[in-house]
Amino acid sequence: MRDILSVLQQIEPDLSKSERILAALLRDDAEFIVNAGITDVAERAGVSPPTVTRFCRRLGCDSYTAFKVQVAQVTFAGTRYLTANAASAAPHDVADSLLHQMQEAAVTTRQALDMHAVAQAADAIATAGMLTAFGAGGTSSMISDEMQNRFFRLGLRTVSITDHAMQLMQAATLKPGDVVIALSVSGRNLQMVRALEAARTYGATVIALTRPHRPVADLADITIGIDLPEGDNILRPSSSRFAFLYVTDLLATLVAMKRGDEARESLRRVKYQLSNSRDPDDKEALGD
């Protein structure tokens, strides 16, 4: 994902004095640039219009207009952009930075998504006899549970298993037509690989949401590759959770659409039982 502020960061050392002023302006008030002409920008920075044009060229844009468009894209919805590991500790900046990281994770995932594999996976899930989600470790087990939460609502027999021994045992009980969703951020969960091998032995279909070309991916019938660079700030939670959750929602939605009225009826029942329970406050819980 090419974005102009990353470019800026890369070439910043090579910049001249006037260009640095412009760089500072871009960082401090991209909003202003988006709404201003080249003359206004030049004036505010105390440089001449041609200098602004040259600055745009340096950043890889053909014209000032092209530059403005690029800036507009990173200031999406008025959010200030910050590099992923900005040193600033101000809560505002952290909030903006995390937001950006999350959006980048989502967009990157969307762009790299193999829609053919997704469609295949949705088909397999929609017609599964039994649906089993395998996950282990922070992200993977959370997503595994979330898979169960999404698919049981649609009337699918679903279970989430986040324990390696239980995964192996469960795998031994599967039959052709059953589907296993394997979740692994790293793709190198060898104990899970063993369980998946067992599942395949008994004829189950394995769908993997994981990093491509890793043991888990290699073993799957259908692989939906999710490959995000890990941030290098250890204090921040990884944004891969958002990517996995996004794909989960996508699969859930596609399966729900495929199952149509059956899914609707099932969702209605879940809602009905909830509102009939002694928990009048939980009425809105179905939407979640």
Please give the residue ranges that form the binding site for DNA (CB under 7 A).
16-19, 37-39, 46-54, 56, 63-65
**Residue of 1, 13, 14, 176 that binds a second copy (CB under 8 A):** 1
Q: 205-210 and 179-184: which strand pairing?
A: parallel
284 makes contact with a second copy (CB under 8 A): yes
Distance CA 130, CA 127 (A): 9
18/186 with CB nearer DNA? 18
52/121 with CB nearer DNA? 52
**Residue of 13, 14, 17, 77 that binds a second copy (CB under 8 A):** 77
Residue 148 backbone dihedrals phi, psi, to 5 degrees: -60, -45
Rounded to the nearest 10 degrees, how much is the dihedral formed by the CA atoms of 19, 20, 26, 28?
-160
Rounded to the nearest 10 degrees, how much is the dihedral formed by the CA atoms of 226, 230, 234, 235?
-60
Site for a second copy in 134-173 (CB under 8 A): 136-140, 142, 145-146, 149-150
Q: How many residues bind a second copy (CB under 8 A)?
A: 86
**Residue of 84, 106, 112, 130 that binds a second copy (CB under 8 A):** 106
Contact 267, 286 (CB under 8 A): yes
**Residue of 7, 66, 84, 130 that binds a second copy (CB under 8 A):** 66
Shortest gap between Cβ of 175 and a second copy (angstroms)? 28
Q: Which does 50 bind (CB under 5 to 8 A by kind): DNA, a second copy, none?
A: DNA
Q: Which does 191 bind (CB under 5 to 8 A by kind): a second copy, DNA, none?
A: a second copy
Q: Which does 146 bind (CB under 5 to 8 A by kind): a second copy, DNA, none?
A: a second copy
8-state DSSP, 285: G
The amino acid present at 110, given as its one-letter code, is: R
Site for a second copy in 207-236 (CB under 8 A): 215, 230-231, 234-236
Shortest gap between Cβ of 7 and DNA (angstroms)? 17
> Which token pair is 255?
């399966």
Within 12-134, residue ranges assigned H as helices are 17-28, 30-34, 38-45, 49-58, 64-74, 91-112, 115-126
- Helix, strand or coil for residue 183? strand
Q: Which does 287 bind (CB under 5 to 8 A by kind): a second copy, DNA, none?
A: a second copy
Distance CA 255, CA 191 (A): 29
Closest C-alpha to 109, from 244, 230, 249 = 244
Q: Which does 27 bind (CB under 5 to 8 A by kind): DNA, a second copy, none?
A: none
> Looking at 44-52, 85-93, 169-177, 202-210, which segment touches a second copy (CB under 8 A)?
85-93
Shortest gap between Cβ of 156 and a second copy (angstroms)? 14
Residue 145 backbone dihedrals phi, psi, to 5 degrees: -60, -40
